[in-house]
Structure 1
Amino acid sequence: MSNIYPVFRYPNARAAVEFLRTAFGLTVQEVHEGPDGEVRHAQLRYGDDLIMLAPGAGPSARPTDDDHRIYVVVDDIDAHHERAAAAGAEIVVKPFDTDYGSRDYTARDLIGNVWSFGTYRP
């Protein structure tokens, strides 16, 4: 079972799910919609591997530095957050509880890559 998952953001998450399925052969594991019917989160598989995607990219054809990231599952978010902060990671979002039962935080590494950590296991 993996602990590291790539996360991609798209201006139109529903179109991205269909494109990744049709063009690259990924299979849809889960799609979660908001009250407005828009895709809020999706999980797609390629063999035993999984990616997650969500809305959020700007309208340009090229992603920004926040349109893709790595999600890492950890057991103790607060201890992990303290360790990262002490090591000099830029904390973008402090630890918080989600409405789907995870505890998460987000940080940037030494060159600005965005890393999300949480207890949610896809």
Structure 2
Amino acid sequence: MDITIHHAFLPHTDPEAALGFYRDVLGFEVRKDVGYEDMRWITVGPAGQPGTSIVLHPPAADPGVTEEERRTVLELIAKGTYAAITLATDDLDGLFQRLEAAGADVVQEPIDQDYGIRDCAFRDPAGNLIRINQLT
């Protein structure tokens, strides 16, 4: 039995800023862009990997969420403690330079970690932590 990761979910607080980061800076393709009332769900993914996607969704969109809960979720997103994802590339330094030049919020420059990985970290426009590992 094969199990794959099909979708991962990250909240966005500004759909246009999210598109600018994931599509224009990271180079992901937009697979779906669905709106309902004043909300948008945007599905993006790496070109050539149609089976793996990130769904960028409005935070706390569930109608059962109270306004206090919604504020708490937004505060956690802004702190960068609500959601995270780890990506991988065969050119960590090149991708770091591209993200830095685009004005992405640098959390950690590329570094060789004690546990055997070379990686860096950024925050996306909503504040989600994006770690990027160097493929070996």
* TM band (smaller chain): 0.3 to 0.5
Which protein shows a greater Rg? 2
Structure with bigger strand share is: 1
Structure that is richer in helix per residue: 2
TM-score normalised to structure 1 length: 0.43
TM value normalised by structure 2: 0.40
